[in-house]
């Protein structure tokens, strides 16, 4: 937003001039959005260079600034310099900007950079379970925010069609008679096939002949046997169709699917092996396997050896992952990997190996803790698991019961549609609102709360703005700040003006949990405004307040879009 940028520039100039007066002209500092002011400058990072406590620095800088231009007030508090902005300019500029840009409000100019966001990438051996549900939601939300930040974004799924697990699945589907396994009732390919995977796993553990057949398939695959690769890929594609359906159920689609087997077929994984063998960090174990010693890269203990071939010389997932990342860097300026917390060591080893290969770029990992339910964590090995499909069904069912109890006047078809929008939105919002690295327990009472910090609350407030505007009919937008002077009107405008900043924090800093927090702030500010002043019967302020309602609707719709949630016009 132009006026916010102008205000920020004036604050930066004023603080820089004040520091120069104090004898510290080259001191670096940052600005940040604050609940206490329109903009704040924290002084903590300046403390060491200026040899003063942050509280004293803030006080001295504030003393050396005379409010002018858009800056109408300056104060020091607890190590922060707080700035207030000309309210009349803020109101008029914010409302005008939102009405003019509409769905593009909060979208930054193109940065001319390509960003690759790899997320989900779950093994195609069974349905996505709730424990991993954070990955697609976080990855998709981040991608949406980065697009708003002006990046050209490609979302990508790395399909592991090479590993032992998918070979076991393929053997099971090929060799186990259809009637000898109990298939899941759900009519989806990923749910149907997982029964063959479990049965094949058990047979392999009990029967050496089965174990040898699977081992032979794996050897052929990694040796580049085209028939075996094609056979396994076909099974993986069938499984992947089911996974795509699940992802579509939570409004996640990916731009690109890259197959791990491609890096065997095109020889790039083998080229990685030959290059790594020439490294000063390379060594060979007694059994013939090759490894990198990563002590010099800060990897400690038993994890210093990063193995990149088996004893028989075949490549490993780690080797193919290196080829994959080099491929991604050939297509992108920035590479982001959304990974479970159990991948921290693997990510560190990958980055070290890339450095050894001479790659100047490094992927930016975004780690998340796994989702658990109040009953505890889930086990995927023995089939004791709650699937994401089940969670979606349960959310939609609970949302339907809630809608039915509130809106008996709504048609059955409409209730079902709104229930789907609310249920899916509840899952996405509840997952992304918690900082990714924090432990997260999914609770229904939090997810489907229509009054608290939840997806349904955000959607409900959006529907309320739609209802008000339907009742109002056509009106002429009015940006006159003299007609919007109530404290709750001003508070709401302030919230609306911060959308661009919220998008930047969520995208540029990869803090996607800040977006639902911002959405809740706007929704709560709107409800306070709604309760404090009349809108439809507001006399000469009617059009100004309706303009404020229209702007709130636009911002909430944009927030919901970035969160991958639908915007129901009635609830």
- Tell me the three state secondary structure of residue 384: coil
Distance CA 342, CA 368 (A): 9
Question: Is 515 found in the same domain as 411?
Answer: yes
pLDDT tens digit sequence for 12-71? 999 999 999 999 999 999 998 877 888 999 999 999 999 999 999 999 999 999 999 999
How many angstroms separate the Cα of 543 from the Cα of each of 25, 532, 535, 549?
A: 48, 17, 8, 10
Question: Is 146 found in the same domain as 18?
Answer: no
Q: What is the mean pLDDT of residues 471-480?
A: 96
pLDDT over 70 at 384, yes or no: no
Q: Are the beta carbons of 105 and 98 closer than 8 angstroms?
A: yes
Q: Which residues contact 255 (CB under 8 A, 6 or more apart)?
A: 154, 155, 156
The total domain count for the chain is: 3
pLDDT score of 379: 44
Question: Is 278 found in the same domain as 145?
Answer: yes
Strands 290-293 and 80-85: unpaired
> For the domain that residue 22 is a member of, what is the CATH number?
3.30.1360.70
Q: Which residues contact 435 (CB under 8 A, 6 or more apart)?
A: 511, 513
Per-residue tokens: 397: 């069912």
Question: Is 242 found in the same domain as 191?
Answer: yes
Evaluate whether residue 103 is within a structural domain: no
Evaluate whether residue 110 is within a structural domain: no
pLDDT tens digit sequence for 439-462? 888 887 888 887 788 999 999 999
pLDDT tens digit sequence for 101-152? 999 999 999 999 999 999 999 989 889 988 888 999 999 999 999 999 999 9
pLDDT tens digit sequence for 189-241? 999 898 899 899 999 999 999 999 999 998 888 788 889 999 999 999 999 99
pLDDT score of 50: 94
Of the given ranges (95-109, 176-190, 285-299, 343-357), which has the lowest mean pLDDT?
Answer: 176-190
> For the domain that residue 483 is a member of, what is the CATH number?
1.10.730.10
Evaluate whether residue 94 is within a structural domain: no
Element (H, E) at 368: strand 364-368
In the block, tokens 């085209």 appear at 226
Q: Are the beta carbons of 132 and 340 closer than 8 angstroms?
A: yes
Of the given ranges (231-240, 312-321, 491-500), which has the lowest mean pLDDT?
Answer: 312-321
- Tell me the three state secondary structure of residue 352: helix
Where is the domain boundary, 85, 106, 141? 85
pLDDT over 50 at 365, yes or no: yes
Strands 290-293 and 282-284: antiparallel
Question: Is 549 found in the same domain as 462?
Answer: yes
Question: Is 314 found in the same domain as 249?
Answer: yes
Evaluate whether residue 378 is within a structural domain: no
Question: Is 460 found in the same domain as 486?
Answer: yes
- Tell me the three state secondary structure of residue 70: coil
Distance CA 92, CA 94 (A): 6
Q: What is the mean pLDDT of residues 83-94?
A: 95
How many angstroms separate the Cα of 414 from the Cα of each of 16, 403, 407, 408, 419?
A: 57, 10, 10, 11, 8
Supply the DSSP string of 126-190, one letter for each residue: SPPBGGGTHHHHHHHHHHHHHHHTT-EEEEEEEE--SSHHHHHHHHHHHHS-GGGS---SS--HH
Evaluate whether residue 301 is within a structural domain: yes
Where is the domain boundary, 372, 404, 437? 372
- Measured in Å, how far apart are the chain's first and last C-alpha atoms? 31
pLDDT score of 1: 64
> For the domain that residue 230 is a member of, what is the CATH number?
3.40.50.620
pLDDT score of 376: 55
Question: Is 425 found in the same domain as 331?
Answer: no
Per-residue tokens: 524: 């709560």
Q: What is the mean pLDDT of the chain?
A: 93
Where is the domain boundary, 85, 103, 130? 85
**pTM for the whole structure:** 0.91
Q: What letters, b where the CB count within 10 A reaches 16 and e where it falls short, cover 95-110?
A: bbbbeeeeeebbbeee
Residue-number span of the structural domain to which 528 is assigned:
388-562
Q: Which residues contact 559 (CB under 8 A, 6 or more apart)?
A: 458, 499, 515, 518, 519, 522
pLDDT over 60 at 381, yes or no: no
pLDDT over 90 at 184, yes or no: no
pLDDT score of 385: 72
Evaluate whether residue 454 is within a structural domain: yes
Evaluate whether residue 570 is within a structural domain: no
How many angstroms separate the Cα of 527 from the Cα of each of 92, 387, 524, 531?
A: 21, 36, 5, 6
Evaluate whether residue 72 is within a structural domain: yes
Distance CA 418, CA 224 (A): 50
Question: Is 173 found in the same domain as 78?
Answer: no
Phi, psi (deg, nearest 5) at residue 551: -65, -40
Q: Which residues contact 474 (CB under 8 A, 6 or more apart)?
A: none
Question: Is 131 found in the same domain as 51?
Answer: no
Question: Is 511 found in the same domain as 407?
Answer: yes
Q: What is the mean pLDDT of residues 301-305?
A: 87
Of the given ranges (62-76, 294-308, 478-492, 547-561), which has the lowest mean pLDDT?
Answer: 294-308
Phi, psi (deg, nearest 5) at residue 119: -145, 170
Question: Is 522 found in the same domain as 422?
Answer: yes
Q: What is the mean pLDDT of residues 247-251?
A: 97
Phi, psi (deg, nearest 5) at residue 291: -145, 165
Q: What is the mean pLDDT of residues 75-84?
A: 96
């Amino acid at each position: 937003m132009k006026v916010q940028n102008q205000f920020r520039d004036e604050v930066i100039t004023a603080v820089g001039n004040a520091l120069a007066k104090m004898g510290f002209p080259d001191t670096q500092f940052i600005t940040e959005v604050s609940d206490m002011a329109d903009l704040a400058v924290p002084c903590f990072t300046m403390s060491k260079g200026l040899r003063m406590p942050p509280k004293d620095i803030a006080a001295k800088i504030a003393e050396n600034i005379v409010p002018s231009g858009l800056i109408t007030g300056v104060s020091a508090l607890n190590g922060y310099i707080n700035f207030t902005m000309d309210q009349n300019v803020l109101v008029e500029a914010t409302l005008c900007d939102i009405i003019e840009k509409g769905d593009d409000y909060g979208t930054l100019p193109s940065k001319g950079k390509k960003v690759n966001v790899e997320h989900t990438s779950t093994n195609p051996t069974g349905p996505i379970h709730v424990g991993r549900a954070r990955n697609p939601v976080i990855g998709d939300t981040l991608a949406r925010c980065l697009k708003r930040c002006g990046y050209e974004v490609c979302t990508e799924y790395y399909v592991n069609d090479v590993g032992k697990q998918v070979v076991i699945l393929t053997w099971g589907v090929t060799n186990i008679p259809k009637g000898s396994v109990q298939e899941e009732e759900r009519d989806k390919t990923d749910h149907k096939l997982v029964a063959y995977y479990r049965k094949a796993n058990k047979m392999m553990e009990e029967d050496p002949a089965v174990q040898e057949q699977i081992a032979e398939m794996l050897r052929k695959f990694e040796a580049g046997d085209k028939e075996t690769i094609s056979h396994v890929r076909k099974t993986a594609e069938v499984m992947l169709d089911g996974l795509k359906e699940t992802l579509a159920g939570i409004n996640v689609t990916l731009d690109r699917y890259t197959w791990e087997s491609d890096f065997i077929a095109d020889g790039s994984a083998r080229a990685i092996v030959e290059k790594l063998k020439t490294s000063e960090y390379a060594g060979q174990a007694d059994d013939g396997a090759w490894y990198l010693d990563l002590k010099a890269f800060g990897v400690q203990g038993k994890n210093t050896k990063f193995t990149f071939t088996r004893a028989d010389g075949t490549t490993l997932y780690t080797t193919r992952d290196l080829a994959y990342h080099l491929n991604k860097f050939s297509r992108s300026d920035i590479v982001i990997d959304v990974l479970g917390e159990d991948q921290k060591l693997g990510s560190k080893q990958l980055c070290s190996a890339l450095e050894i290969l001479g790659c100047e770029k490094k992927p930016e990992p975004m780690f998340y803790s796994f989702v658990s339910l109040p009953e505890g964590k889930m086990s995927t090995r023995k089939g004791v698991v709650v699937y994401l499909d089940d969670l979606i069904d349960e959310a939609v069912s609970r949302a339907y019961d809630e809608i039915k109890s509130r809106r008996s006047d709504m048609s059955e078809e409409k209730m079902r549609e709104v229930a789907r929008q609310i249920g899916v939105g509840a899952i996405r919002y509840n997952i992304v609102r918690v900082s990714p690295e924090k432990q997260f327990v999914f609770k229904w009472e939090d997810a489907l709360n229509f009054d608290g910090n939840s997806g349904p609350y955000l959607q409900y407030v959006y529907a309320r703005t739609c209802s008000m505007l339907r009742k109002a009919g056509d009106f002429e937008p009015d940006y006159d700040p003299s007609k919007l002077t109530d404290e709750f009107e001003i508070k709401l405008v302030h919230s609306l003006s911060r959308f661009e900043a919220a998008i930047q924090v969520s995208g540029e800093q990869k803090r996607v949990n800040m977006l639902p927090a911002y959405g809740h702030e706007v929704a709560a500010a709107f409800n306070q405004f709604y309760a404090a002043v009349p809108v439809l019967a507001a006399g000469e302020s009617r059009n100004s307040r309706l303009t404020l309602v229209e702007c709130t609707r636009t911002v909430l719709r944009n927030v919901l879009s970035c969160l991958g949630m639908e915007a129901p016009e009635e609830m």
